């Protein structure tokens, strides 16, 4: 069974208004789930608009990340108040929590991404973290959300940092799927990898202009936010689990194990993971094009103010046994690193990160 996309997708400047009657048909007592103070005004608007549709609406906030503590608290709240749907309005962690909770309770989930930071509004997947933001596991869900509302007016209000993060996460689709799936004969998988290549090209062309934010009604901005929030999800939907994540996400997951005072966004960490994956391809797979890809990516990442080393993510890998911790988690049994078509050992990870952090990357 493969769930390729949400059942209904509303996109554009008036997506929210257009979706309202459909939401009112689907649910009579939704719970709006959100998290950050930054999105509170938008969530209040969503609340009021749903009330005006005569729905019995309530709202709740996550205290932490998409973690079991928050998930069970919200599940109990839904059961106590007899809510018949979850409306997840926020970034990736909120969307992942909403989808997971809805699946557990067998009620529909409506996703309203409030930034372009990930494709979590689309996918049938939830990443579970600890309260402190340490990656635990990803869970495949039975289906994508029932309704996805990708309202451009809402996404315009998000900080530009979230867009940079979304661009890095969407770029990873090409670098990860193209290396893990080259031997797969399934046409749908091959075509989904080709979509991820076009997606990468679009972001290389339009990403900087979109990030600069002066042109929020410009096609570059629209194409970029839709690439990050929609097309990236479509690649996963068509390619399914064969269109896998690989080293970039495995390294992301291990970096989240080290708790730092400043938290970084998912895509900001994945971006560093892509650079390290390419270094691994160069070192272990004799990939002569990897260096070229790194240079091309670095140029864009610097323009988007994205971190380009683990040090810039607030971690000194040379203290507190951090190198060993990263190598251990990256190479653990169920890690995505093992989807690479060549073997990776802990020593390889220590070596690649050591070289990467010691060189002073300059463009
Ligand atoms: Zn990701």
Q: Cα(169) to centroid of ligand 1, in Å?
A: 5
| DSSP for residue 301 | H
How far is it, in rounded angstroms, from Cα 269 to Cα 249? Answer: 9
Task: Supply angle C-alpha 137, 139, 143, rounded to 5.
Answer: 165
Give the Å distance between the CA of 330 and the centre of ligand 1: 15
Distance between Cα 271 and ligand 1 center (Å): 10
For residue range 136-162, list pLDDT tens digits in order: 999 999 999 999 999 999 999 999 999
Q: What is the pLDDT of residue 181?
A: 82
If we measure between CA atoms, which residue out of 167, 156, 197, 165 comes closest to residue 179?
Answer: 197
Taking the centre of ligand 1 as the mean of its atom positions, its distance from the CA of residue 252, in whole angstroms, is 9
For ligand 1, the distance from its centroid to the CA atom of residue 115, given in whole angstroms, is 14
- How much is the pLDDT for 361? 59
Work out whether strand 109-113 and strand 147-151 pair parallel, antiparallel, or are unpaired: parallel
Dist. CA 134–CA 157, nearest whole Å: 28
State in Å: Cα 13 to ligand 1 middle: 26
Q: What's the confidence (pLDDT) of residue 286? A: 87
Instruction: State the distance from the centre of ligand 1 to the C-alpha of 253, rounded, in angstroms.
Output: 10
How high is the pLDDT of residue 245?
85
Distance 270 CA to ligand 1 centre (A): 7
pLDDT for position 363: 47
Distance 36 CA to ligand 1 centre (A): 20
Q: What is the mean pLDDT of residues 307-331?
A: 97
- How much is the average pLDDT of 11-39? 97
Which protein residues have their CB within 5 A of the ion that is ligand 1? 169
Instruction: State yes or no: pLDDT of 243 exceeds 80.
Output: no
CA of 258 to the centre of ligand 1 (A): 18
Q: Would you say 161 and 139 are in contact if contact means Cβ atoms under 8 Å apart?
A: no
Strands in the chain per DSSP E? 8-12, 30-34, 58-61, 85-90, 109-113, 125-129, 135-140, 147-151
Q: How far is the CA of 95 from the centre of ligand 1 (A)?
A: 13
Give 28's contacts (C-beta < 8 A, 6+ positions apart). 55, 56, 84
| CA 121/CA 147 separation, integer angstroms | 9
Q: How far apart are CA 62 and CA 64, in angstroms?
A: 6
Residue 202 has pLDDT above 60, yes or no: yes
Q: pLDDT for 214-223, tens place per residue?
A: 666 789 999 9
User: Can you give the pLDDT at residue 138?
Assistant: 93
When pLDDT is averaged across residues 225-229 and rounded to a whole number, the result is 98
Higher-confidence position of 213 and 281: 281
170 CA distance to ligand 1 middle (Å): 7
Ligand 1 center from residue 251 Cα (angstroms): 11
Q: How many angstroms is it from 361 CA to the middle of ligand 1?
A: 24
Give distance in angstroms: CA of 291 to centre of ligand 1. 23
Question: Does the pLDDT at position 119 exceed 80?
Answer: yes
The number of beta carbons lying within 10 Å of the beta carbon of residue 214 is: 8
Using the mean position of ligand 1's atoms as its centre, give its distance from the Cα of residue 42 in Å: 25
Kindly report, residue by residue over 32-66, the tens digit of the pLDDT: 999 989 999 999 999 999 999 999 999 999 999 88
pLDDT at site 308: 97
CA of 49 to the centre of ligand 1 (A): 31
State how far the Cα of 254 lies from the Cα of 50, in Å rounded to an integer.
40
CB atoms within 10 A of CB 273: 28
Instruction: Express as a percent the part of the chain with pLDDT over 70.
Output: 98
CB-neighbour burial class of residue 104 (10 A; exposed 0-12, middle 13-18, buried 19+): middle
């Amino acid at each position: 069974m493969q769930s390729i996309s949400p059942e209904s997708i509303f996109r554009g400047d008036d997506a929210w208004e257009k979706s309202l009657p459909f939401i009112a048909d689907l649910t009579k007592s939704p719970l709006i789930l959100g998290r950050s103070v930054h999105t509170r005004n938008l969530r209040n608007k969503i609340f009021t608009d749903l009330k005006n549709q005569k729905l019995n609406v309530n709202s709740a906030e996550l205290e932490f990340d998409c973690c079991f503590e928050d998930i069970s608290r919200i599940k109990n709240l839904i059961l106590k108040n007899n809510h018949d749907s979850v409306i997840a309005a926020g970034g990736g962690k909120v969307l992942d929590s909403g989808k997971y909770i809805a699946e557990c309770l067998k009620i529909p989930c409506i996703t309203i991404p409030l930034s372009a930071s990930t494709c979590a509004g689309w996918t049938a997947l939830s990443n579970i973290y600890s309260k402190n933001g340490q990656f635990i596991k990803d869970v495949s869900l039975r289906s994508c959300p029932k309704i996805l509302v990708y309202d451009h007016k809402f996404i315009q209000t998000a900080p530009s940092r979230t867009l940079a993060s979304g661009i890095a996460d969407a770029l990873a689709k090409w670098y990860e799927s193209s290396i893990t799936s080259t031997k797969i004969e399934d046409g749908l998988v091959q075509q989904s990898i080709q979509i991820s290549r076009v997606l990468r090209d679009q972001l290389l062309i339009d990403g900087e202009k979109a990030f600069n934010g002066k042109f929020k009604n410009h096609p570059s901005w629209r194409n970029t936010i839709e690439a990050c929030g929609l097309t990236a999800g479509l690649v996963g939907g068509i390619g399914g689990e064969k269109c896998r994540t690989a080293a970039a996400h495995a390294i992301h997951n291990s970096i989240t194990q080290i708790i730092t005072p400043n938290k970084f966004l998912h895509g900001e960490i994945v971006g560093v993971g892509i650079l390290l994956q390419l270094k691994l391809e160069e070192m272990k797979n004799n990939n002569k094009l990897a260096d070229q890809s790194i240079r091309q990516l670095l140029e864009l990442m610097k323009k988007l103010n994205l971190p380009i080393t683990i040090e810039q993510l607030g971690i000194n890998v040379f203290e507190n046994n951090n190198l060993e911790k990263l190598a251990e988690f990256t190479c653990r049994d169920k890690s995505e690193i093992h989807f690479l078509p060549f073997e990776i050992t802990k020593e390889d990870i220590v070596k690649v990160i050591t070289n990467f952090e010691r060189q002073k990357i300059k463009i």
